[in-house]
């Protein structure tokens, strides 16, 4: 008979459950919607719109999109003071930074240990 994940987790020792819960919280914190990212940066739609030179209603529409141009995402992140990097991950190799798509200029540096050579 199949067991669901909650049953499996309940059967683990308390210390292991806490470790799993802590890791799950960390992973959840690393993924934000564009709206959550704007709020985490303490910006309103109005202030972001002003930075982008667009109307607040357009920011609202951008935040509701599930599919957008990379250039739109890049401009939004930059208007919040950030930098957009696109990284492709594969199970059999180190992450690869994609250049010429979202960044203007040379390929961005990856954190130590994630560097890949260009061949």
- What's the pTM value of the predicted model, to 2 decimals? 0.60
Question: How far is residue 24's CA from residue 19's CA, in Å, rounded to a whole number?
Answer: 9
Choices 3.40.50.720, 1.10.10.60, 1.10.1040.10, 1.10.260.40: CATH for 33-82: 1.10.260.40
What percent of the chain lies above the pLDDT cut of 90?
52
Please report, to the nearest 10 degrees, the dihedral formed by the alpha carbons of residues 84, 106, 113, 28 taken in order. Answer: 10
pLDDT tens, residue by residue, 72-91: 999 999 999 999 988 999 99
Q: What is the pLDDT of residues 17-33, one digit of tens each?
A: 899 888 877 776 677 88
Predicted confidence (pLDDT) at residue 110 exceeds the cutoff of 50: no
CA atoms in the 13 A half-sphere facing the CB of 7: 4
């Amino acid at each position: 008979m199949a067991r669901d994940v909650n049953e499996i987790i309940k059967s683990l020792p308390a210390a292991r459950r806490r470790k799993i819960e802590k890791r799950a919280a960390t992973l959840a914190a690393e993924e934000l919607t564009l709206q959550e990212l704007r709020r985490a940066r303490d910006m309103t739609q109005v202030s972001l719109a002003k930075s982008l030179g667009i109307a607040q209603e357009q920011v609202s529409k951008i935040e509701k999109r599930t599919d957008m141009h990379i250039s739109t995402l890049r401009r939004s992140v930059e208007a919040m003071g950030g930098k957009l990097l696109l990284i492709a991950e594969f199970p059999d190799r180190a992450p690869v930074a994609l250049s010429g798509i979202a960044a203007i200029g040379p390929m961005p540096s990856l954190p130590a240990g994630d560097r890949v050579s260009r061949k």
